[in-house]
Structure 1
Amino acid sequence: MKPFFLLLLTSYACFSQVGIGTNTPNSSSLLEISSTDKTFVPPRMTNAQMLAIPNPLIASIVYNTTFNSLYIYNSLGWKSMLETDNPNLICKKSGGSLMVSNNTYYNFPLNSTHIQSQNASTYEIISNGKIRIKENGIYMVGAQLSVNNMPSGTKAYSIAVFKNETLIGLLNKNESIQSSTDYWGTSGMMTFRFAIGDEIEIKYLVNNNQSLSLVFAAFSFVKIN
């Protein structure tokens, strides 16, 4: 009976604390790895494989081979350990023309060729004004638009945010009232909660029956939580 009792005690000790490369793991360690010539290697996988993991536990760690970074899973989703600032996306351009017609929304004429700053693990630009979100969280979204030949009269306008083809917010909505053809511009900003896989579109509406000469167009995303 004594040998069996001792075996139980030994098994309990092994499951309470585990040492790899050491016979004396620290009393505060559940698992302690000690080595001077070998490394600890977490699971290695592509970004797609990482995102496909079903119900990962909080504090799960993998090495993402797509973005060459360790990732840890928290309450907001997978987070790169390389990130030191809030992940952002900034696109802008100057010049060109702006398509407009009455009561019609158009996507901002900005795509991957207009990137000024991008965190590729958080955002993917799909097409003009269309972005796919790669991390759960709260995002601040801003946009700016200006032309140099807004016609005289009263023209309704707005800048809108669509999520998965549904309107979720207006960054700005008003009327342009001009006595002659002249410069016009507008901007706006709002905060939204987005999830992995959400497709976001930044769109504008200007009630006018002819194209306008674009001075400047820009949009930005900043993940704040």
Structure 2
Amino acid sequence: MSPELLTRLLALEGVPSALASARDGIDAMLRDRGLRRTTPETTAESLLRGAHASAVLEGSSSSLDDLRAGTGDDVAAASVRLSAQLLSQAPVVTRSPLQAFARLHTLAGAGCVPDEALGRPRDADAAARLRDLGPVVTADAPALLVAAVVHAELLAAEPFASHNGLVARAAERLVLVARGLDAKSLVVPEAGHLALRPAYEARWRGWRDGGRAGQHAWVLHAADAYVAAAEASPLHDV
């Protein structure tokens, strides 16, 4: 994988308009509802909603209230650990993407996998795919596209010993923050994917197995999910 992939994806039918529409919706929501209403508590709520949605996509049966009470299952607990420290990696991910991805896995996998496996690629092929993904994070391309590609590739590559889905979805949110599209992390991309779950599960496998057609379908799905992510923002509650 190389940053040239992003250029090719942007040339596909419907991709520029879908991404632009999603970006406009996010910008409008942040401008119209975020003005004078943004607090650290709103960001914390967005992160918690994202942790819950990501955990459900990973197989958790815990409710959002369970997460609020700290009584969620192991998957939910891992997702909460990850979300609680996610924003600390925003300065890191554009400087050293591999370091940030490793930290995400360390947070998610703590206590679940052997210490020597935390943050480490499973094998040489996984390490190579992570290295190839690094330049994509900082490429000159729309933030939504970069986030979507990072998410899909981390899911497809399964580079770590565990929790790859949680890491992939956290990395997507992290890219949106670090690239400045959603600096206060108020949209909930994980909830956007959960709202479109059948398409989400089909499309990321299409990215993995379906060649260029699969990549095209994934990016269009991601644009739809980002629209739903804006609708899931806690800014709509205030």
TM-score range, shorter chain: under 0.3
- The two structures have a TM-score, normalised by structure 1, of 0.22
More strand by share: 1
Higher fraction of helix = 2
Q: Taking structure 2 as the reference length, what is the TM-score of the superposition?
A: 0.21
Mark the structure with the bigger radius of gyration. 1
